[in-house]
Amino acid sequence: MSSQRIHAVDVTARNLKANARLSLKDQQLRNNMRSAMDSLISKRIISMPDEDERENLRELGNKIRARALSELPDLLEQLEANLTQQGVQVHWASSTAEANNIVLKIAQARNAKQVIKGKSMVSEEMAMNEYLTEHGIEALESDMGEYIIQLDNEKPTHIIMPAIHKNAEQVGRLFEHRLAIPYTDDVDSLIQSARGILREKFFHADIGISGVNFAVAATGTLLLVENEGNGRMSTTVPPVHIAVTGIEKVVANLQDTVPLLSLLTRSALGQGITTYVNMISAPRQAGELDGPEEVHLVLLDNGRSQAFADAELRQTLNCIRCGACMNHCPVYTRIGGQAYGTVYPGPIGKIISPHLLGLENTPDHPSASSLCGACGEVCPVKIPIPALLRRLREENVKSPKQQPQIMDGQGSRYSAKERLLWKGWQYFNSLPWLHKTGTFFATRLGGLTPKNLGPWTQNHSAPKLATRSLHELAKQHLEKKS
Amino acid sequence: MNARDRILASLRSSLAGTTPIADPFDATLVDEPWRYSPAERVTRLKELMTAVHSEVLLTNSGEWPKLLSDVLAARQINRLLIAPNTTHGQAFSAYCQSVQNPLHLLAYDRPIEEWKRELFDDVPASFTGTLAGIAATGTLVLQPSPDEPRLMSLVPPLHIALLNASQIFDNLYQAQQYWPKPMPSNFLLISGPSKTADIEQVLAYGAHGPKDLIVLLVEDA
Q: State the Cα torsion A467-A469-A473-A476 to the nearest 10°.
A: -90
Please say whether the beta carbons of A366 and A392 come within 8 A. yes
* Nearest CB to B207 within list A36, A168, A191: A191
Closest CA to A335 of A345, A324, A350: A345
Write out chain B residues lying below 8 Å of A240, CB-based: none
Closest CA to A210 of A184, A249, A178: A249
Closest CA to A367 of A396, A342, A408: A396
Residue in chain B lying closest to A72 (CA): B11
Domains of chain A: 3-306 (3.40.50.10420), 416-481 (no CATH)
Does residue A229 sit at the B interface (CB-CB below 8 Å)?
Answer: yes
Residue in chain B lying closest to A283 (CA): B185
In chain B, what are the domain boundaries?
36-218
pLDDT digits (tens, 9 = 90+) for B69-87: 999 999 999 999 999 999 9
- Determine, for residues A281 and B185 on separate chains, whether the beta-carbon distance falls below 8 Å: yes
pLDDT at position A8 is 40
For residue B193, what pLDDT band results from cuts at 50, 70 and 90? very high
Tens of each residue's pLDDT in chain A, 482 residues: 333 333 343 458 889 999 999 999 999 999 999 999 999 999 999 999 999 999 999 999 999 999 999 999 999 999 999 999 999 999 999 999 999 999 999 999 999 999 999 999 999 999 999 999 999 999 999 999 999 999 999 989 999 999 999 999 999 999 999 999 999 999 999 999 999 999 999 999 999 999 999 999 999 999 999 999 999 999 999 999 999 999 999 999 999 999 999 999 999 999 999 999 999 999 999 999 999 999 999 999 999 999 999 999 999 999 999 999 999 999 999 999 999 999 999 999 999 999 999 999 999 999 999 999 999 999 999 999 999 999 999 999 999 999 999 999 999 999 999 999 999 999 999 999 999 998 888 888 877 777 888 888 888 888 888 888 898 899 999 999 88
pLDDT digits (tens, 9 = 90+) for B109-166: 999 999 999 999 999 999 999 999 999 999 999 999 999 999 999 999 999 999 999 9
- Determine, for residues A195 and B112 on separate chains, whether the beta-carbon distance falls below 8 Å: no
Write out chain A residues lying below 8 Å of B149, CB-based: 288-291
pLDDT at position A445 is 84
pLDDT at position A461 is 86
Between A and B, how many residue pairs show a Cβ–Cβ distance under 8 A? 255
Does residue A122 sit at the B interface (CB-CB below 8 Å)?
Answer: no
Pick the residue of A232, A254, A310 with the most B CBs within 10 A to test the interface with B by mutation. A232
* Nearest CB to B198 within list A94, A144, A314: A144
Write out chain B residues lying below 8 Å of A63, CB-based: 21, 24
Residues B24 and B27: their CA atoms lie apart, in Å, by 10
A49 CB-contact burial (10 Å; exposed 0-12 / middle 13-18 / buried 19+): exposed
Cα A153 versus chain centre, distance: 20
* Nearest CB to B10 within list A93, A168, A305: A305
* Nearest CB to A275 within list B149, B181, B195: B195
Task: Scan residues 393-412 of A and list those with Cβ closer than 8 Å to B.
Answer: none
- Determine, for residues B29 and A259 on separate chains, whether the beta-carbon distance falls below 8 Å: yes
Task: Scan residues 360-379 of A and list those with Cβ closer than 8 Å to B.
Answer: none
- Determine, for residues A291 and B29 on separate chains, whether the beta-carbon distance falls below 8 Å: no
CA of B99 vs chain A CAs: smallest distance (Å)? 31
Residue in chain A lying closest to B49 (CA): A275
Write out chain A residues lying below 8 Å of B7, CB-based: 76, 92, 94, 247, 299, 301, 305
* Nearest CB to B25 within list A228, A255, A280: A255
Residues A467 and A439: their CA atoms lie apart, in Å, by 10
- What is the rounded average pLDDT of the residues B185-214? 96
Pairing of β B212-218 and β B158-164: parallel
pLDDT at position B135 is 98
pLDDT at position A11 is 54
Task: Scan residues 300-329 of A and list those with Cβ closer than 8 Å to B.
Answer: 301, 305, 308-309, 314
| R_g of chain A computed on alpha carbons | 26
CATH of domain B36-218: 3.40.50.10420
